Amino acid sequence: MSKRILGVGSPLVDVLSQVPHEHVDNIDGEKGGMEMVDFQKLQKMIQDAGDHEMAPGGSAANTILGLLQLGFDGSFLGKIGKDDRGDFFMKSFTDAGGCHSRFKICDETPTGTCLSLVTPDAERTLRPFLGAAANMLIHEVHEDDFKDHDHVHIEGYLLFNRNLAMKTLQAAKAAGCTVSLDLASFEVVNANKDVLPEMLGAYVDMVFANEEEAKAWCDSEDPEEALKSLAEHCDTVAVKLGAEGAWVQHGEEKVFVDAHSVNAIDTTGAGDLWASGFLYGLLSGLTPEKSAKLASKVGAEVVQIMGASIPEDTWKNIRNFLNDLIEEMK
């Protein structure tokens, strides 16, 4: 039975540009890092980067777009500007089958945009401008936004506005939804260590962390230690280790699933699309292991392309892989 999923976070337009190492060496900030920029600097950096592609982005939006491709219904709660990039994002989302009724529109501020400079080693150097996405107001979040949904997926960046994050979590639970949270970055974890344990325990059913986020959570290099610690607060936990695979715990069941060995050219959206596969599997009744296998497959496919928009032919292969997993359970 199809589920209806609501994503909450920052709807961004990704501007993707393949550049040599020297290009990144000549800009401010560390290679592979993420630094916020203002709109004027963003526009100048896009111009300097040369040829580029555009794609809908933002962590939670990437996850919802993946779930739409796998067969769930989806909506998104976030704020875009009244401009060409906002129109591009809205059209991309609705063309994928998403419902646009939960979007909020900002008249004053441009749509959030993230420049992704991809070097030949597939590493991304990110320069985001949050724009309209950062202008979501607490009173714009209503319990009605969450009604008629089964599950809410929230990106961790929302925790930089704690009041907005709490309003979102409370509204989701009041509407009877289960909730997943992607911790998003080690900066999110470090900035919210004082509230995360209580927040996870009271509102979050599933939590996703990568290696760096897991380490920040429990101050340990051991991903199993992070898995165990997070599982004290949430029933379902995933600790993603990139090309090495992922640890998953669901209740008392604990499994490790290998990653697919592929030639990665761009890791944009890898964790977000991993979450798409896992959420689709678990919410559809697959075992935690098979859900993680589907997640691994989706994550492996997205790193072989530029950006997070997997082509339709590849989605067909992923859906065939899913059907094989379902057949194995019969």
pLDDT for residue 256: 98
Question: What is the pTM (predicted TM-score) of this model?
Answer: 0.93
Residues 185-190: what's their mean pLDDT? Answer: 92
Separation between Cα atoms, residue 206 and residue 119, nearest integer Å: 33
The burial of 198, by beta-carbon neighbours within 10 Å (0-12 exposed, 13-18 middle, 19 or more buried), is given as exposed
Identity of the amino acid at 288: P
Q: Is residue 227 helix, strand or coil?
A: helix
CATH fold, domain 4-11+58-111+135-329, is: UDP-N-acetylmuramoyl-L-alanine:D-glutamate ligase (3.40.1190)
Reported as a single tens digit per residue, the pLDDT across 193-207 is 999 999 999 999 999
Residues 67-94: what's their mean pLDDT? Answer: 97
